[in-house]
Amino acid sequence: MPADLTGPFDHRRPRLFLAIVTAFVAVIGTLGAAHGQPDAEPLDALAFALLLVSPVVLATAPRHHVLAATLSLAATGAYLLLGYPWGPVFVPTVTVLAGVMLAGPAAHGRVVAWSGVVVLAGITVAAATLRGGPPAVALLGGLAWTTVALLAAGGVRGRVARMTAVRAARREHELNAVTAERLRIARELHDVLAHSLSAINVQAGVGLHLLDRDPEQARAALAAIRSTSRESLDEVRTVLGIVRAEGGEVPRSPAWDLGALPRLVGQVPGVVVGLTVEDAAHDAAPRLAGIVYRVVQESLTNVQRHAAGATRATVEVRVVGTGEASSPRSARPRTLVVTVSDDGAARADRPADPSWAGGLDDRLVTEGYGLRGMRERVTDAGGTLTAGPGPRGGFLVEARLPWEARGAVGPDDDDATTDQNPAEQEDP
């Protein structure tokens, strides 16, 4: 429930405690004050009942602002007009008005409470005029203390509202963090499983096709299946190990080195993949290297699954620009660019892009989990990703990432702790 609709007195325990204290002060204080007022009506059961109306109201109905204020003011007015002794009879009423301010909707409670102060002042003046009473200075002092009490109650209500808003924002932040982590893990698992299962499917088809005619080639296909499945299981264990780990310094995500790309491009059966990685790109921060690895991995998976008749693919990783983000405007900021293209046949619903010079038209592409995951990774790093038919047929994916050098302090460097490099894993 919003903070402006609930207050601390919407909880029973604090108001019960204050109601008991208020009843004790009102009864004991009035008994003491009655000894110095021989002309006042003697205290009887009705007087004590009127004194206890406000504590009962405070304990049971502070959210009903108008009802609570009306009952309390009526009891106080009746007590004074019946001629009972002056004393702390105002304490319960002021406490109820403060309770009205601390319960239920804040704006309505403030209006009712301050209106009650005006009514209470009128009752006090009327009673003093009709029956005589304390000096005007004492009455003004009581009014001042009443004002202070309500201002304090308003301050408490505001502080509680701010603390409630902070806690709600913290919970929202934690929920968003959990959701983002789940999406990240889902992307990791999708990338690992989609790539490996696509490769295994192709190799299994090759093995079945050659099982009788060329047993050696079939054996090689089965060995490739075993190698790919082992590596994919290792990656899945890495991701799940992050989820299951408790305590200690645990890496939040695998971060692959660009040195793993040669091994990755060699795992695409039936497609010759050319790889070009500029020397400057090897200085990229682990976080960027991990994104590049995943973009290449998912793009090659799509080549296997969707590029009809593709026999060749090209992977390029390069650095363009000479300046940094903080350089003068005349300097071109450095950007890490990764492109993956293939020579597969264009689908009828994805014609070759006639405006290649102006960039890819990725509106022609219906995004699945793979493309969506790549785009989310690149966008989270401040980059852009375009995907669509190439100018000469086939399909092309291009990601542009703001340059971040190895060892630089980036926003997600804590996530860039490295696991075992796939390029360093041994063959079975």
Res. 346 pLDDT band, cuts 50 70 90: low
- Give the mean model confidence (pLDDT) for residues 177-199: 72
Res. 266 pLDDT band, cuts 50 70 90: confident
What pLDDT, in 10s, does the model give residues 23-58? 999 899 888 888 878 788 888 999 999 999 999 998
Q: What are phi and psi of 417, to 5 degrees?
A: -65, 140
In this predicted structure, the answer to whether residue 183 has a pLDDT above a threshold of 50 is: yes
Q: Which of 160-164, 223-227, 345-349 has the highest mean pLDDT?
A: 160-164
First-residue to last-residue Cα distance in the chain: 58
In this predicted structure, the answer to whether residue 420 has a pLDDT above a threshold of 50 is: no
Q: Which residues contact 268 (CB under 8 A, 6 or more apart)?
A: 199, 300, 303, 304, 313
Q: What is the pLDDT of residue 351?
A: 45
Closest alpha carbon to 360 in 351, 369, 368: 351
Q: Which residues contact 33 (CB under 8 A, 6 or more apart)?
A: 85, 86, 87, 88
The angle formed by the CA atoms of residues 123, 125 and 129, to the nearest 5 degrees, is 115
Determine which of 106-120, 210-224, 332-346, 405-419 has the lowest per-residue pLDDT on average.
405-419
Q: Using CA atoms, how far apart are residues 144 and 163, in angstroms rounded to an integer?
A: 29
Res. 74 pLDDT band, cuts 50 70 90: very high
Q: Using CA atoms, how far apart are residues 387 and 310, in angstroms rounded to an integer?
A: 17
Q: What is the pLDDT of residue 335?
A: 92
- Give the mean model confidence (pLDDT) for residues 286-301: 86
Q: Which residues contact 153 (CB under 8 A, 6 or more apart)?
A: 98, 99, 101, 102, 113
Determine which of 258-267, 305-314, 363-372 has the lowest per-residue pLDDT on average.
363-372
Q: What is the pLDDT of residue 250?
A: 47
Q: Which residue has the tokens 């934690």?
A: 174
In this predicted structure, the answer to whether residue 404 has a pLDDT above a threshold of 90 is: no
Q: Using CA atoms, how far apart are residues 188 and 350, in angstroms rounded to an integer?
A: 28
Q: What is the pLDDT of residue 369?
A: 62
Q: What is the pLDDT of residue 224?
A: 72
pTM for the complete prediction? 0.48
Res. 337 pLDDT band, cuts 50 70 90: very high
Q: What is the chain's mean pLDDT, rounded? A: 77
Determine which of 124-138, 207-221, 403-417 has the lowest per-residue pLDDT on average.
403-417
> For 359, what's the count of Cα atoms within 13 Å in the CB-facing half-sphere?
8
What are the tokens at 394?
Answer: 């086939």
Identify which has the larger pLDDT, 168 or 409.
168
Q: What is the pLDDT of residue 398?
A: 92
Q: What is the pLDDT of residue 195?
A: 62
**Beta strand 272-277 with 335-342: parallel, antiparallel or unpaired?**
unpaired
In this predicted structure, the answer to whether residue 359 has a pLDDT above a threshold of 80 is: no
Cα dist. 300→257, 309, 319, 388 in Å? Answer: 17, 14, 21, 14
Q: What is the pLDDT of residue 354?
A: 40
In this predicted structure, the answer to whether residue 344 has a pLDDT above a threshold of 90 is: no
In this predicted structure, the answer to whether residue 315 has a pLDDT above a threshold of 90 is: yes
Closest alpha carbon to 193 in 339, 268, 298, 310: 298
Report, in angstroms and rounded to the nearest whole number, the Rg of the chain calculated over CA atoms.
38
User: Counting every residue, how long is the chain?
Assistant: 428
In this predicted structure, the answer to whether residue 127 has a pLDDT above a threshold of 50 is: yes
**Beta strand 312-320 with 272-277: parallel, antiparallel or unpaired?**
parallel
Q: Please count the other Cβ atoms lying within 10 Å of the Cβ belonging to residue 340.
A: 25
Identify which has the larger pLDDT, 265 or 347.
265
Q: What is the pLDDT of residue 413?
A: 47
